[in-house]
Structure 1
Amino acid sequence: MMTGNLNVGRHYHTASILCDGKVFVTGGYNSGYLESTELYGPVTGSWTMSANMSAKRYRHQASILCDDQVLVTGGCCYIDSAELYDSSTGNWTRIGNINSM
């Protein structure tokens, strides 16, 4: 099965599989840090742009939560913020900073 290309080439991004089977790609690097996100629809085989994160991130972490939200944390260089993506609305909420050790 062939898929379309991402709208924005990127590396050091995250890719998370949502409960509905879509793939959610966040951030990364392409001639600069990225705050952009994209959704891949396996039924259509295409990528669509989604809402931007509040911070540009690469080498960050993305975790799928039980309610199909995506928690995105950290990233280079030394970003201490976290934000939550609601896959049902397509919106981001900044939820605070990560505590320093």
Structure 2
Amino acid sequence: MIDAGEATRRTFDLLAELERREKGDERRAAEWHEKANTGEAEPRWYCDACNHTPPQWTPHCPACRSFDTLEWRAPGAAAEILPPPALPADGTLAAASVGKIA
């Protein structure tokens, strides 16, 4: 038996379609569709810089043009919940603070 924590939403939708086409069982297909609501979302590409979700991997994010920032992950990961740190308006990086050594 497949549980919600073991499959993606698409898996459950495909099982519902299979149930409908092979056996003509609409009740069982509806049960699979209900499980799809609790399944994991499909992983996809995310830009770590701007959270854009391009349809395929590219070296540069199509939205912000950042290099090597696309990551393959499922929606809801911690990196998606927290927004990326904001850059200064002029595009420069803030200098790190340096403390004195006593």
- Please report the TM-score for the alignment, with normalisation by the length of structure 2: 0.19
Task: Indicate the structure (1 or 2) with the bigger Cα radius of gyration.
Answer: 2
Q: Which protein is richer in helix relative to its size?
A: 2
Q: Which protein is richer in strand relative to its size?
A: 1
